[in-house]
Amino acid sequence: MEEKQTSYRIGTVFRGVAKKLWSSFTDLLPIILVIAFFQIVVLKQSLPDLGSVVFGGLLVVLGLTLFIQGLEMGLFPIGENMAHALARKGSLFWLLTFAFALGFSTTVAEPALIAVSAEAASIAAQGDLIASTEVSMDRYALGLRLSVAFSVGVAILVGVLRILRGWPVHYLIIGGYVIVMLMTLIAPKEIVGIAYDAGGVTTSTVTVPLVAALGVGLASIIKGRSPLLDGFGLIAFASLLPMIFVMGYGLVVFG
């Protein structure tokens, strides 16, 4: 009897795992179809090194499955726990400090940002905007990185303050867009493209779930806030403010 139960339980676990793996596979199916279509129909060639590609594909499916599992077990609860604990503590200072530190610390070491700012430094050196020495390029890249990280910290801080105060999100975002538009007109051309892209690269795969859980957690614990209406929006600030700060940095350095 007991044996039967154990084997039954193993069966359910196995089915559960298989279901999760299958759902990750369906997430990747569109990419597989697109690549197959272009390889076979348009470019008319077979895949180079098919074995390695299939092996890589299996790793992607497995990795995505583990990540999603970890998301629901770890990242979402941590974000929510922190939001609830800080809200219960009732100290605005610590809540805002946490918000700023979360934005700053997750961005300053972001590999995509390091790559983009190094790229930006070499473009600026080519355009004779800064001296083509390693020292000045490194200093420029570091300045860019710090201003982006600082802006993400400020963005999360403002976003959290918005949730607490219940300010409507669209006024802040539209105000931000208007500032971006105005700054685009006066900022040096070499920095505009990078500034626009900087908004997109700041939000990493680990930061997004944490920040989303933080926002939704805060909005659901504070009276009069709706999690859907007020809980979201933090990521939008984190993609908007870097554009303003990077263009500002360009104006200060080149101006």
Partner 1 sequence: MMFLMTFLETFFATLRDILPILGLIVCFQLFVLRQPIPHLRRLIVGGVYVVLGLTLFLIGLDKALFPVGKIMAAQLSNPSFICPTGDMAALTSWTSYGWVYLFAAMIGFSTTIAEPSLLAVAIKASEVSGGVISQWGLRITVAVGVAVGIALGTFRIVTGTPLYMYILAGYVIVILQTFVTPKKIIALAYDSGGVTTSTVTVPLVAALGLGLSEAVPGRNPALDGFGLIAFASLFPIITVMGYAQYTDWVARRKAK
Work out the angle at residue 109's Cα, subtended by the Cα atoms of residues 100 and 157, and round it to the nearest 5 degrees: 10
Return d(Cα 227, Cα 216) in angstroms, integer. 5
In this complex, which beta carbon is closest to partner 1, that of residue 135 or of residue 181? 181
The continuous run of DSSP H or E covering 21 comes out as helix 2-37
**108 is an interface residue for partner 1 by CB under 8 A:** yes
193 contributes a contact to partner 1 by CB under 8 A: yes
Interacting span for partner 1 (CB under 8 A) from 1-9, 10-18, 77-85, 137-145: 77-85
The Cα 250–Cα 255 span in angstroms is 7
Binding residues for partner 1 restricted to 11-70, rule: CB under 8 A = 27-28, 30-31, 33-35, 37-39, 42-43, 47-48, 52-70
Q: Under rule CB under 8 A, which residues in 161-180 are in contact with partner 1?
A: 169-170, 173-174, 177, 180
* Candidate ranges 3-11, 120-128, 129-137, 139-147; the one touching partner 1 (CB under 8 A): 120-128
Q: Is 103 helix (H, G, I), strand (E, B) or coil?
A: helix
Verify binding: residue 117, partner 1, rule CB under 8 A. no
- Angle 207-221/76-89 helices, nearest 10 degrees? 40
Count of Cβ atoms closer than 10 Å to residue 12 Cβ: 9
Nearer to partner 1, 10 or 28 (CB): 28
Nearer residue to partner 1 within complex by CB, 147 or 199: 199
Nearer to partner 1, 179 or 253 (CB): 179
Positions in 124-163 near partner 1 (CB under 8 A): 126
Helix axes 169-186, 134-165, angle to 10 degrees: 150
